[in-house]
Amino acid sequence: MSTYEARLAALREQLKADRLDGFVVPLTDEHMSEYVGTYAQRLAWLTGFQGSAGAAAVLPAEAAIFVDGRYTLQVRDQVDGRHWSYQSVPETSIADWLKAHAPDGGRIGYDPWLHTSDWVVKAREALASKGAELVAVRRNPIDAIWSDKPEPSKASLVVHPDKYAGKSSAAKRQEMADWLRERHADAAVLSALDSIAWTFNVRGKDVDHTPVALSFALVHDDGTADLFVASEKLGDDVRQHLGNGVRIHERSDFEPHLASLSGKTVVADPERAVAAIFEALESAGATILRDRDPSVLPKATKNQAEIEGHRAAQARDGAALTRFLHWLSIEAPRGGLDELKAAAKLEQLRKQCGDLRDLSFDTISGSGPNGAIVHYKVNEETNRPIEMDSLYLVDSGGQYPDGTTDVTRTVAIGTPTSEMRDRFTRVLKGHIALGSALFPEGTRGTQLDVLARQFLWAAGIDYAHGTGHGVGSYLAVHEGPQRISPAGSSQAGGDEPLRAGMICSNEPGYYKTGEYGIRVENLVLVVPVEVDGAEKKMLGFETLTYAPIDRNLIDSDLLTAAERQWVDDYHARVLEIVGPQLEGDVKSWLEEQCRPL
Amino acid sequence: MSTYEARLAALREQLKADRLDGFVVPLTDEHMSEYVGTYAQRLAWLTGFQGSAGAAAVLPAEAAIFVDGRYTLQVRDQVDGRHWSYQSVPETSIADWLKAHAPDGGRIGYDPWLHTSDWVVKAREALASKGAELVAVRRNPIDAIWSDKPEPSKASLVVHPDKYAGKSSAAKRQEMADWLRERHADAAVLSALDSIAWTFNVRGKDVDHTPVALSFALVHDDGTADLFVASEKLGDDVRQHLGNGVRIHERSDFEPHLASLSGKTVVADPERAVAAIFEALESAGATILRDRDPSVLPKATKNQAEIEGHRAAQARDGAALTRFLHWLSIEAPRGGLDELKAAAKLEQLRKQCGDLRDLSFDTISGSGPNGAIVHYKVNEETNRPIEMDSLYLVDSGGQYPDGTTDVTRTVAIGTPTSEMRDRFTRVLKGHIALGSALFPEGTRGTQLDVLARQFLWAAGIDYAHGTGHGVGSYLAVHEGPQRISPAGSSQAGGDEPLRAGMICSNEPGYYKTGEYGIRVENLVLVVPVEVDGAEKKMLGFETLTYAPIDRNLIDSDLLTAAERQWVDDYHARVLEIVGPQLEGDVKSWLEEQCRPL
């Protein structure tokens, strides 16, 4: 019996012992984090699936794994089809599948620390139609059988200095207190890890590429707070930094502590706080105010110090990327380069540029056809040489104490085809249209998304991902609440009004399966714009990312005069910002790349 | 005591007699129609308010009237502030106001035939917090005191021939029956008047400018139907046309008939069917399936006959409008013209062009500053002369058996300022960008809206209305479900996917209060577009409206070469389609107007 077959059998035994007829296994942690620590990777342990999103449902005689379109091939590769049926989301939800397969009157378990209330309500309804019951487990049955389950990370917290945060934690908590009092609420639950890091001006190392720490918090209407975090993570400097206004508890004290909120009005965010939190508050006799986590909007609208920090980090990051592109231009034609080597070199150059704490995500390093796989993750098996007359796409970023970066460049190795240049230029035109947009306050991301797609649509093509996401300040590289995406997108955020201080990515692309991928990404800052004769307050985008765009891929004939000017102006700014950090050959190369078209 | 003061006093007496402490008076009919017959104009009767949207709430000692931004001035003009307080929606809802003003434990009446379930739920919640009760009345108290209340229209139905409808009523009902069976439903309620007219291929005259008849219907899963309409409206030709599959009842039999649906599963549309219908179904013991009225989508996606019909009606309508614009060009400079005379002339020319059944809405005829009032309705008091060196905006349309039209033209009388030409050209550029858009199937109106605004946004200006609405086939001039509008708009429909066969208006504008208004509107048809090398099914817009655009307002320097080409191509099509219907001076004038820029 294979490892995974044995684990599935063991789970079924455990479920019998727990008097359950089934169990749901999502890929989340207690904080609905985008990336999940190894201690929480139950889906991978049980099924072998290594993708970043998915879920499974186990019944006595059947089991199913649910993944979206990104992973259709990967799941069949990694998960044994003899024991697991493959289900596609969003076409088939877990609730749908359970409704069809659960035994009548069955008891289906779920871990209330790993699902939102919304999910619980829908699943409960679906099962009710079969007379089946959704049952919250007190202990996750997988934890009972996963004998060598890793411990959560023990990394220490560090202080995030006010010079980067731009506002003290006490001031942030005071503003949240005002917000609470306006709503006649006593406290708010913070369970999203980046919300907590931002609110307390601390950083951690408990999640890959995101400097946050496993924790929970309550912020009160007097500005004080309770912070629930493993005490071993807190050195004296952090305790002193947190100060008297923050009462420190063990992370495991969070659920019991909620019981003390009887009679209080507590804000909990239905999109961020897991079902167990809502259930604990209800049991405690608290009044729940379902509203967004009050740190989300201030975290998204960067203050002056955060903005200056991002500009500084981007300048250094741009220099590192520029050095990489120069190195690539020399090494690639020589042969012998591959995706892994390139990614490693880029990481090394970022480390050298100053203050790199981590990458902000696993570098997407896609040569030729691999560039067409939108969420491509290179490893030893998939690693491909970088070859002549192909496109190389690299999407990468860093975590610096003053800012988080995320940038994509597509370069032609050797001679690109005219089709590649046509597609690249259409992508670039879209990037320019979005980056140059002026729009009134209150405009949502869904309203602007078409600006980036329109030149691809004119050729009957498109890209199957959003156009832009928010970015944190030495926090998550994918940060809400805003998104620039099509209406009706499955991911929320496109209808959040854009505000000055928000940072968004601007990343249209085009992917020809089996051949090549193109993406042009800069980060942009939403800024107020003074327009002569304006009748409304207008916003626009200031570019934060500066690195050369491959002129060999630009078909100038497809650009309007204004678009050519945009490219020339952009490259002139690259020279101003990145140039002084370079010298010798690299600098001369950059000057050549940044010549007017 | 003034008339309205007496009516308010009489209502309060009636409420006492009915054991009510208050009553809500909306501006709707039993069908949630956009325009309401005089028999249902209770708000106007009670308060004197003549606007097309609003509501009132009456308590023993207080009364309030609720209107939106369009009517802030008008309501103060028409409604006596000594007896009514003026409330602004959406800032203050009726529910909010009642919550603040209703007597504790009070009984507040509402007519369940005039509100949606959603409204009832919200109002009930708001009142509950005061221990007050929302009470459905069996008889509207205003009807008890409105002694000379008009009867509903007695106009007869007419048959809408298959040659225009493109599909028999039996076939439409059979498709609805399939739809019902897919959902395991027995029947669907149709209460929207245009839904009923479309489904049964009949037309009426019971609502201003919309050829529909006061009626209700039930369509069953075997394709048969029950139609509830005053028998006096049905001549033998209509009865024969309806055939055996349609059982005819009096309109007043509808509510009792719902009681017979015990144990059935009935589809009712929460956006269209009033609360009384839901309440009757619940009392009957029917299972309610809350879903959209099944005629809405097929009605919106025109079939070939409807499309051909629209094209033919538009061609004639365009000729009438062209004759009007020619006449205007000659008469206006002579002086002596005013808004009413112009509107009357346009209506006369439409009548002469063939088959006009009615205007599709009250013509918006706005000279100079009146053009800046978006929903301007000219009357003897507001009537303004059409003067030299001003702009004249005319938004008008007709009801023809083969199609419904709606078009706006803005013309310069004399010499426009350079600012007028700049604003007009920006509006035109937006109109062209939207009209020329190519987009994948599934795209929503909110995604395209920015294309029409972007050139105004670039100058820090905007227009405070949607960009496009759907249009019926000899039905409502404002027809859902789709809209082209900003995300977050208060009116629904912007997130409805656009489909081939839908007709939309394309009507950006710019309004300078106190000076002038600009709008350029054509109707466009969503059509599939073959694009060489396309990887997705693409859609685009085919223009349906053909009438010259005022070249004196176009600043060609602001147009790109492609935009100039669009104007020239459009005007060439105007000549092809409208030209042959004209002769003599009008024709020569048109040829001059349609010269390449």
pLDDT in tens, B180-194: 999 999 999 999 999
Which tens digits make up the pLDDT trace of B66-124? 998 878 888 998 999 999 999 998 889 898 899 889 998 899 999 999 999 989 998 99
Distance CA A310, CA A271 (A): 28
Confidence of residue B494 (pLDDT cuts 50, 70, 90): confident
Strands across the sheet with B225-228, in order?
B246-249, B225-228, B216-220, B187-190, B265-268, B287-290
Strands across the sheet with A468-470, in order?
A439-440, A538-543, A522-529, A503-506, A468-470, A479-484
Question: Residue B490 pLDDT more than 70?
Answer: no
- Nearest-Cα distance to chain B for A366, in Å, is 22
Question: Residue A1 pLDDT more than 80?
Answer: no
- Nearest-Cα distance to chain A for B200, in Å, is 33
Closest residue, chain B, to A561 (C-alpha)? B560
Distance CA A164, CA A167 (A): 8
Residues of chain B with a CB closer than 8 angstroms to some CB in chain A? 437-440, 442-444, 446-451, 454, 457-462, 486-488, 494-495, 497, 531-536, 538, 560
CB contact set of A584 (below 8 Å; sequence gap of 6+): none
Pairing of strands A516-519, A522-529: unpaired
Query: What is the rounded average pLDDT of the residues B200-213?
Result: 95
Confidence of residue B366 (pLDDT cuts 50, 70, 90): very high
CB contact under 8 A, A536 and B444: no
Chain A hits for B458, CB-CB cut-off 8 Å, are 438, 531
Chain A hits for B461, CB-CB cut-off 8 Å, are 533-536
- Nearest-Cα distance to chain A for B256, in Å, is 32
Question: Residue A436 pLDDT more than 90?
Answer: yes
Chain B hits for A560, CB-CB cut-off 8 Å, are 560
CB contact under 8 A, B487 and A461: no
CB contact under 8 A, A494 and B488: no
Chain A hits for B495, CB-CB cut-off 8 Å, are 487-488
Supply the pLDDT for residue B584: 96
Q: Tell me, what DSSP letter sits at residue A544?
A: -
CB contact under 8 A, A438 and B448: no
- Cα B43 to Cα B49, B54, B68, B218, B271: the distances in Å are 7, 8, 15, 30, 22
CB contact under 8 A, A487 and B535: no
CB contact under 8 A, B460 and A486: no
Query: What is the rounded average pLDDT of the residues A465-471?
Result: 95
User: What pTM did the predictor assign?
Assistant: 0.90
- Give the nearest partner residue to B487 out of A446, A454, A538, using CB atoms: A446
CB contact under 8 A, B487 and A449: no
Which tens digits make up the pLDDT trace of A166-192? 999 999 999 999 999 999 999 999 999
Confidence of residue A490 (pLDDT cuts 50, 70, 90): low
Distance CA B208, CA B360 (A): 8
Chain B hits for A536, CB-CB cut-off 8 Å, are 460-462
Cα three-residue angle B37-B43-B45, rounded to 5 degrees: 80
Which tens digits make up the pLDDT trace of A132-169? 999 999 999 999 999 999 999 999 999 999 999 999 99
**Coil/strand/helix, residue A226:** strand
The two structure tokens encoding residue A342: 């390139």
Closest residue, chain B, to A540 (C-alpha)? B458
Closest residue, chain B, to A436 (C-alpha)? B458
Substitution target from B417, B423, B429, B446 for chain A, most A beta carbons within 10 A: B446
Q: Is the dihedral of CA A458, A461, A463, A466 positive or negative?
A: positive
Closest CA to B194 of B476, B513, B492: B476
Supply the pLDDT for residue A292: 96
Distance CA B46, CA B78 (A): 11
Closest residue, chain B, to A433 (C-alpha)? B454
Return the amino acid letter for B18: D
- Nearest-Cα distance to chain A for B376, in Å, is 22
Residues of chain A with a CB closer than 8 angstroms to some CB in chain B? 437-440, 442-444, 446-451, 454, 457-462, 486-488, 494-495, 497, 531-536, 538, 560
Chain B hits for A287, CB-CB cut-off 8 Å, are none
The two structure tokens encoding residue A72: 């259709």
Question: Residue A549 pLDDT more than 90?
Answer: yes
Substitution target from B417, B432, B454, B513 for chain A, most A beta carbons within 10 A: B454
Angle between helices A561-578 and A584-593 (to 10 degrees): 170
Contact, A201 vs A171, CB < 8 A?
no
Which tens digits make up the pLDDT trace of A500-535? 999 999 999 999 999 999 999 999 999 999 999 999
CB contact under 8 A, B437 and A457: yes
CB contact under 8 A, B462 and A531: no
- Nearest-Cα distance to chain A for B497, in Å, is 9
Chain B hits for A495, CB-CB cut-off 8 Å, are 487-488
- Nearest-Cα distance to chain B for A199, in Å, is 29
Average pLDDT along chain A: 95
Confidence of residue A35 (pLDDT cuts 50, 70, 90): confident
- Give the nearest partner residue to B447 out of A443, A450, A533, using CB atoms: A450
Supply the pLDDT for residue A489: 67
Distance CA B309, CA B321 (A): 18
CB contact under 8 A, B446 and A451: no
- Give the nearest partner residue to B487 out of A462, A495, A536, using CB atoms: A495
Distance CA A162, CA B128 (A): 48
- Cα B14 to Cα B1, B8, B18: the distances in Å are 18, 10, 6
H or E segment and range at residue B66: strand B63-67
Supply the pLDDT for residue A91: 84
CA atoms in the 13 A half-sphere facing the CB of B583: 0
Closest residue, chain A, to B448 (C-alpha)? A450
E runs forming strands in B121-245: 133-136, 158-159, 187-190, 202-203, 216-220, 225-228
CB contact under 8 A, B447 and A495: no
Chain A hits for B454, CB-CB cut-off 8 Å, are 437, 451
H or E segment and range at residue A410: strand A407-413
Average pLDDT along chain B: 95
CB contact under 8 A, B462 and A447: no
Chain A hits for B534, CB-CB cut-off 8 Å, are 459-461
Question: Residue B491 pLDDT more than 90?
Answer: no
Question: In this structure, how many other beta carbons lie within 10 angstroms of the beta carbon of residue B226?
Answer: 19
Pairing of strands A522-529, A265-268: unpaired
Question: Residue B354 pLDDT more than 80?
Answer: no
Question: Residue A65 pLDDT more than 90?
Answer: yes
- Give the nearest partner residue to A444 out of B440, B488, B534, using CB atoms: B488
Which tens digits make up the pLDDT trace of A208-241? 899 999 999 999 999 999 999 999 999 999 999 9
- Nearest-Cα distance to chain A for B557, in Å, is 14
Closest residue, chain A, to B446 (C-alpha)? A447
Contact, A594 vs A553, CB < 8 A?
no
CB contact set of B421 (below 8 Å; sequence gap of 6+): B552, B553, B554, B555
- Nearest-Cα distance to chain A for B460, in Å, is 4
Chain A hits for B562, CB-CB cut-off 8 Å, are none
Question: Residue B554 pLDDT more than 80?
Answer: yes
- Give the nearest partner residue to A487 out of B444, B462, B535, using CB atoms: B444
Contact, B411 vs B391, CB < 8 A?
yes
- Phi, psi angle pair for A457, to nearest 5°: -55, -35
Closest residue, chain B, to A419 (C-alpha)? B533
CB contact under 8 A, A535 and B449: no
What percent of chain B has a predicted confidence (pLDDT) above 90?
88
Confidence of residue A363 (pLDDT cuts 50, 70, 90): very high
CB contact under 8 A, B486 and A443: yes
Distance CA B576, CA B581 (A): 10
Which tens digits make up the pLDDT trace of B497-527? 999 999 999 999 999 999 999 999 999 999 9
**Coil/strand/helix, residue A427:** helix
Which class for B548: exposed (0-12), middle (13-18), buried (19 or more C-beta within 10 A)? buried
Strand partners, B193: none
Chain B hits for A442, CB-CB cut-off 8 Å, are 488
E runs forming strands in B451-494: 468-470, 479-484
Substitution target from B462, B499, B511 for chain A, most A beta carbons within 10 A: B462
Chain B hits for A438, CB-CB cut-off 8 Å, are 457-458, 460
Which tens digits make up the pLDDT trace of B115-128? 999 899 989 988 88
Question: Residue B547 pLDDT more than 80?
Answer: yes
